[in-house]
Each structure stands twice: as C-alpha cells, then as structure tokens.
Chain A
Amino acid sequence: MKNIFELIKKDFTRFVNDKTAVLLTFLVPAVLIIIFGNIFGGGGSSRGKANVIFVNKSNSEIAKIIEEKLDSSSSIRLVKKYRIEETDSIAEFTEEKAIEYIKAGKHPAAVVFPSDFLSDTSIAMNIKFYYDPRNEIESAIIQGGIQQTIFTQLPQIFPALLTRQANEFLGDEDGEGFRNEMADIVSSYFGVPKDSILNFTSSQISSGLSSEETSDSSSGSFIENLIKFDSVQLVGANLKNPQVTRIVGGWAIMFLLFTLTAIATSLFEEKQEGTLKRLLCMPVTRTEILLSKYYFSMALGIIQLMVLFVFSWAIFDVDIFSNFLNLIVVIVISASAAVSFGMIITAHATSISQANGVATLLILIMSAVGGSWFPTFLFPDWLQVVAKFTLTYWSVEAFQQIMWRQAELSAIYLNLIILIAISVIFNSYAVYRFNKGNIF
C-alpha cells in the first residue's frame, strides 16, 4: 500500500515536471473553452444573441405560443422586420424576402412557420429553416435554440394541443388512439421514450398551460423533469449561459480522455525507458503498478475536471454550485470511465505510437459523435443512435442534466450506470490482459 502511494507520487512528480503535459491538461482546454464559449454563448453579461429572421404565416395558437417563447429566448433574437432602402420604410419579412436576405449573406438564417404549421390531421409541426452553409455553426446554434425552446415548452404546448384537438375532432372514444399517435410523433421528434409520454397523466394534461406548478411532483419521469426545468427557464433565473454549459462539459470530457489515455499509455514509455522493469525488480508488484496508474489517473482526471469547471464558473458564470455534490458525483464517475478507456487502449496496443494513434482517432470520433462539440439533438436520427455507443455521450448528457437542468441523480441514473459499467468492464478486461499477456 505504501508503495502504491510512492508510485502515485512518482507519477505526480513526473507529470508536474512535464510542462507540456500540464499545459495540455489545464491551459489548452481552458483556452478552447474561452474561444468556443465566446463563439457559442458569449462571455459573461456581454454575450450577444444570434439573430434570425422570423416569419410566422400560421395563425395557429401553438405557433403564437412558440413565437412568444422564442421572443423571450436568451440565445436567439427574432428579426421580423426589415428596412426598405428606397422608401426608407420598415416592412415585415416575408418568406421570399427572407430567402433573398440569406442568399445575399445579410443574415445567417431564417425560421418560417408556414401556414400549414399545424395541419388538421397531424400534430407534427412544420417549420422551415433556411440557412447559409457558410454560417453552419451559427445556424446550428439557432436551430438548436429553436428546438430547445420548443422542446422545453413541450409540456405546455402539447397538453393545450391535445385537449383542443382531441375534444374538437375526435371525441372521447378515439382519444386514446390519438394519444398514442401523438406519443409516436413526439417520441420520434424529440427522442423521448414513448412510454414516458403516455405516462404523462391526464391530470397533468388538464393543468395545461399553467403547468409550472406540476414541476414539484417528484416521480422523476422524463416529462416531469421537463416541466420542472421549464419553470426554471421561464423565470430566467439559474441558467446564465446554457450554451457554454454544454461546451464546458463537452470539451472537458474530450480533454479528460486525452489526458488519461496519455497517463495510461505512459506505461509503454516506462517499458521503453526500462523503468518499468526496474520497478518490477524492486519490491513492487504488477498489480501495484497498475493500481498506482489507475489512482493517479483518477486523481488527475478529477482535478482536471474541477479546474475546468471552476474556470468556466469564473469566466462564464456557469453555475456549478447549485448542484455541486451531484456535479462531483458525475465528475468522479466520468473520470473513472475515461481512465478505463485509457487502460483498455493500453492493454490492447502493441506500442506507444499505436496506442496514441488509436486513442486520438477514437477520442476525436467519440467527441464529435458523442456531443462534445455539437449538441446531439442537432444530429440526424441515425447519428443520435450512434452517439449512444460513445462514452462521451453519456458523460456529456449527465453534465448537461446536472448543470443545465439542475437534475437530481435519479434523473441521470441510466447515464451513471452505463458509465460505471463501462469502467468496470473495461478495467477488468485491461487487468486481465496485463496479468495474462506479456505486454509489460
């Protein structure tokens, strides 16, 4: 046990001595978070909103509700009017005019609610989104912002919709079938499990637009959590920097993976330098060396995440303290999963360059697909499915829920279980390989 501690101290000494490693672990992620935080969310109070042309051709009640919500959105500013140069007058945007503006590069994107925004036969919402591919990132943010707004207003919109539609057109008998149909659509639209929509009880439905009160109910279903979050959003209190919150979690996880993989693959370095053999010719066992690497990686990972979160709090006012204990839990479990990723790479590689090559590739893919860089809700359906096969996804989502929605652990238990399972399975396999093979 004492030797494990000494070995951890050794790894720590080596790490601190390696200025590049320290920079890569703390400074580079911090700088990237600043840069991307500013691009996506803007810093502190001076952050700007993304401008988007908005045309509402629908006279549906729902469209109006959404428009209102978008108007009060913290990430988007709806531009509804434009100036006519010749007559020096102001006019409302039309769809044609919006397209013209985007083509001319005067605006990055436009959102149009067409007249068939809500058709009588379906409750799917038709929204047209025009954008200039040159502004892909900004478009993605706008699209994300709109989806987010709709998504978070869902519990308010759909009950209203449901009661209205059901009563008007279907009558009691077909109500059940309609609910089913709606659940299908909502489920495919928002990736919400159908069951949780169906469990959305009629009492909640009837509370309709004044659903804020229901947020106190504690059964933890997905929709209920949404309602809860919703009310937070409406008062505009806690969440100062939603986009940055996501970015911090995403980038932190990516760099965590890089850092911890580097630590794990340093076993190769030690093998090459002969120090590993030297240690093994001293009163030290293989298991002790592995454990020391594991504990050191965990400690470093936790420190790295803490530093990055505290940093994002200092710079961007990201709220890390209201849900601090839960945040710590997610940090520890994420670090553990990232360590196990490094371990399994090391256990499988035959050389350090192979290990680093494979790790870099996998980390970049996982980060892109798993939502480190862009929110996964912007992805096409199939990619959203693929995302779930990455460690990154479960970790980023967990951070999101914890910091954005102030969720309790019960709301992210699946994320935590999956991350823990990844840790346990990967680590056991790595230990098995280390002890069996002649790798080291």
Chain B
Amino acid sequence: MLKITNLSKSFNEIIALDNVSLEINSGEFFGLLGPNGAGKTTLMNHIIGFLKSDSGEILLNNNAIKYGDKNIRYKIGYVPQEIALYQELSAYKNLKIFGSLFNLSKKELNKNIDKTLELVQLTDRKSSAVKEFSGGMKRRLNLAISILHNPEILLCDEPTVGVDPQSRNAIFEMLQELNQQGITIIYTTHYMEEAERLCNRLAIIDGGQIIASGSLMDLLNKLDSKETLKIHKTPESIELYEKLTKISTINEFDFKYELIPNKDFQKYSQLYKYFEEIGLPSDLIEISRASLEDVFLHLTGRRIRD
C-alpha cells in the first residue's frame, strides 16, 4: 500500500533521512522505532506531503505522493508529535474546525465527531476548553482530530509522550480498535515495549537510516541469544566487575550490567558455577527474554535512550 524508495532529506548539513526504503502493507500496524533525532518525524512529514524530499519517492497505492499534495490528505490522517490544538477553544470546537476542512457533509461530520468523542472517551468533556484538559486528555483529542475524515492510513507520531499509564492504555486500545476496523497504522516511538506490544511489523531507524525491519521475531533473530543475562548493580557486584569481564563482554546500564558470555560460557550451568566461585549472590542474577532494546543495542552498540 505504501512504498518508500531511497528517500533522502538533509537540513543544511544534518542528514535526517538517508536512503530510506520501506514497504508498509494494507491493514498493518507498523512500528517505526528509533531514538531522538533518528528521523521518525521527518519521515512522517514526507508521507503526509508536508516536506519536500531531496531524492527518492513515496508511492501510495502506486501513486506518487508529492510535496503539498492535497489529495492524499483525505486518505491519510496525521497525529502530530506535539499537541496541536486551539487551547482556548472547546474540544468540540476543535473537532469542528479541523473536521470541516475535509469536504464532509455537515451530517457526516457531526456523526464522526460524536463517534470519535465516544472512542477517545471525551464525550462528557467536549464543551470544556482544551487548556483545562489533562495531558492525557489532550493527547486523546490530538488523536481524535486526525481520524475524523475516516483515513485509510493513520500516522501516529509518538502519541503517548507524557501520558499517564491509564491514558496510555486507552490510546493503545483505541488504536488497536481502529486497526481492527482496517485502518493501516504507522506508529513511531522510542519506547521498545510499546512497539512490541502494538506492532505486527517494525523498522528500526537510527541516524536517518533503516537499520533493520521485519516482524518482532525477525528482529529478535538477529540476536545470538533469545535471552539476556543481567546482574543488578550492588556494592558486591561492582566489586566483582573485573572478574565478570573475564567470562563475558559487559554493557553497563544505570542499575544493571548486561553480560554477553564468551564462547566457553554459553551454558547456564557453566555460568552459575563461575558465579558461585567468585561469590556473586545469586539473587542479583536476572535472566530475561531478549527485547527490542537488546536488538537495538546489538545493532548500534548504543541504547535507544541515552
């Protein structure tokens, strides 16, 4: 449905997108995962025709999306990363103002507004000024505005930033419901857990380049091991740091060491034996399923949020 080929974009000397190629299929919940400044928003801005690329092309159902292309905006909904609302007006007026730009009949627009308010659970607050809303409510309204015109594709640019867990869950459920109704969703985030939770397929973007893409399984398969071994940092374990480096490569986090064991220590039995020898308390050891975080680390040598 959406095919991006060799898309590049620079802002002066900053390369925001570097030869990006991606294909997104109809009905997918596609995740775009990357750290700050990776180029996620820039990519979205090209899909909606807000920015002009330096080279490359984007096809929507085999039609090229051009800069400033009005027609594609009827098909694509865009949830901007920043909350973009008329703060002094009511939620209802905001919906009305933005919704009226899509050539919907009055009746249809009103119907969609009611339906959407219901979906984002703001029906009883529709007359309040947006500035009186909580962060989570603003985020939900921010999203609601983007789906009034029944788009085929919904671009969500980090729609859960600064949102409490309750609102975040509500947003997840809303998006999944929309996806089930057949709307293709492209979702950017730098929260690995979100991407894992929501997306059938994802791409990892860093420094303007797509460094990996595929299903969660595809990405996890890039790791040597499906599990990670971590040791919580305590005064005891910190003291044993030197000894741990003898059997593994260590990635240091704020509160944990991640151990990537050497060839001779691939088995847990070997590892535990060594830990016992050097006197590492076993309750500091944590073995968990590998995550996208680990994939990112593996591919870039960095963590996604530094």
Residues of A within 8 A of B (CB): 2-3, 6-7, 9-10, 13-14, 17-18, 273-275, 277-286
Contact = CB atoms under 8 A, between A and B. Distances in A.
B101 A3 contact: yes
Contacts of B71: 283
Closest 9 CB pairs of A and B: A274-B84, A278-B84, A274-B82, A6-B100, A283-B73, A283-B70, A281-B78, A10-B97, A281-B48
A72 B49 CA distance: 72
B88 interface: yes
B56 interface: no
A282 B84 contact: no
Contacts of B241: none
Interface string B56-91: 000000000000101101100010101111111100
The main secondary structure of chain A at its interface with chain B is: helix
A274 B97 contact: no
B81 to A, nearest CB: 9
Contacts of B93: 13
Contacts of B50: 277, 280-281
B102 interface: yes
A275 B84 contact: yes
A285 B69 CA distance: 9
A9 B89 CA distance: 13
A274 B88 contact: no
Contact of B68 (A18, A274, A285): A285
B117 to A, nearest CB: 18
Contacts of B88: 14, 17-18
The main secondary structure of chain B at its interface with chain A is: loop
A283 B84 contact: no
A275 B94 CA distance: 10
Contacts of B272: none
B268 interface: no
Contacts of A7: 101
B98 interface: yes
Contacts of A9: 97, 100
A283 B86 contact: no
Contact of A275 (B49, B73, B85, B102): B85
B146 to A, nearest CB: 9
B181 interface: no
Interface of B: 48-50, 68, 70-71, 73-74, 78, 80, 82-89, 93, 97-98, 100-103, 145
Given A3-B101, A14-B89, A285 B84 contact: no
A14 B84 contact: no
Contacts of B74: 283
Contacts of B145: 278
A19 B203 CA distance: 48
Nearest to A280: B50
Contact of A6 (B80, B87, B97): B97
A285 B67 CA distance: 11
A392 B70 CA distance: 40
Given A281-B48, A285-B68, A274 B83 contact: yes
Contacts of A285: 68, 70
A283 B102 contact: yes
Contacts of A3: 101
27 contacts: A2-B103, A6-B97, A9-B97, A10-B86, A10-B97, A13-B89, A17-B89, A273-B84, A273-B86, A273-B87, A274-B83, A274-B84, A277-B80, A277-B84, A278-B80, A278-B84, A278-B98, A278-B145, A279-B98, A280-B50, A281-B50, A281-B73, A282-B98, A283-B73, A283-B74, A284-B70, A284-B101
Given A277-B80, A277-B84, A283-B74, A6 B89 contact: no
A286 B52 CA distance: 14
B151 to A, nearest CB: 11
Contacts of A278: 78, 80, 84, 98, 145
Nearest to B145: A278
B73 A282 contact: yes
B80 A283 contact: no
Contacts of B100: 6, 9
Contacts of A282: 73, 98, 101-102
A354 B106 CA distance: 40
A116 to B, nearest CB: 67
A431 to B, nearest CB: 16
Contacts of B89: 13-14, 17
A283 B74 CA distance: 7
A419 to B, nearest CB: 33
B147 to A, nearest CB: 12
A273 B85 CA distance: 7
A284 B97 CA distance: 12
A278 B48 CA distance: 11
Nearest to B148: A282
A4 to B, nearest CB: 10
A203 B93 CA distance: 69
B86 A275 contact: yes
A274 B98 CA distance: 13
A281 B80 contact: yes
**Residue of B70, B89, B97 most packed against chain A (CB within 10 A):** B97
A274 B138 CA distance: 13
Nearest to A6: B100
Given A13-B97, A281-B80, A285-B70, 18 more contacts: A2-B103, A6-B100, A7-B101, A9-B97, A10-B86, A14-B86, A14-B89, A17-B88, A275-B85, A277-B80, A278-B84, A278-B145, A279-B98, A282-B101, A283-B71, A283-B73, A285-B68, A286-B68
Nearest to A2: B103
A281 B73 CA distance: 7
Contacts of A13: 89, 93, 97
A3 B149 CA distance: 15
**Residue of B82, B88, B101 most packed against chain A (CB within 10 A):** B101
B16 to A, nearest CB: 14
A280 B93 CA distance: 19
Contacts of B73: 281-283
A18 B86 CA distance: 12
Contacts of B103: 2, 283
Contacts of A280: 50
Contacts of B82: 274
